[in-house]
A and B are shown apart, each in its own frame.
Chain A
């Protein structure tokens, strides 16, 4: 158990809908990262937050947004969903900020299926 908690574990929704994925980081970790794992793709970095502020941005679509709340949990909002958004979405956390040698701990992921 990494200590990173993600909900829901599985989600099936229709195209055009909007979903919210939730992540609770490890106790004490200030950084939260979101990654997308699609078929035949490596883990694609979406976005990082550090202590409530956006710190780094990767290949995140405009239809997607995220935020980190004062209690450090984070939400990834996916809207106007398309079939191609079906993927495993990972949240990860670390104690450090952007560039560091800190270990990054992953949750078990949220499986999103868009039908």
Chain B
């Protein structure tokens, strides 16, 4: 069974704080790691797709790194704002059995207080 684990489960920070959370995924037969931002009552919004070991991507104040050898990815938010409050999901695409699929972690719920 391929598991994707995210930590922490939830996080409360003050506006202006920088924060980061972790996604652990199976390193064997790895193909791609996806990060999503999910606000309540909306569809998950794609942030990054990363495939190469050492890859680092940035989108505004949000950045992500990837270590495929040890099976983890970090998502960083610099200077958190209340509008960053959401659940951040990561998903790993591994080849399992005869077919592959995108396996999601349970997410890290971020709350940013003004």
Contact = CB atoms under 8 A, between A and B. Distances in A.
B76 interface: no
Contact of A106 (B32, B43, B51, B107): B43
A55 B42 CA distance: 27
The contact size tier of chain B is: 20 to 34
A101 B32 contact: yes
A42 B106 contact: yes
Contact of B43 (A101, A103, A107): A107
A18 interface: no
Contacts of A45: 101-104
A43 B89 contact: yes
A109 B43 contact: yes
Interface residue SS majority, chain A: loop
Contact of A2 (B32, B34, B45, B99): B45
Contacts of A102: 49
- Listed from nearest, the 10 A-B pairs whose CB atoms lie closest are A43-B104, A42-B106, A56-B99, A106-B43, A101-B51, A56-B101, A108-B43, A106-B44, A45-B101, A103-B46
Interface of B: 4, 31-32, 34, 36, 41-46, 49-51, 89, 91, 93, 95, 99-107
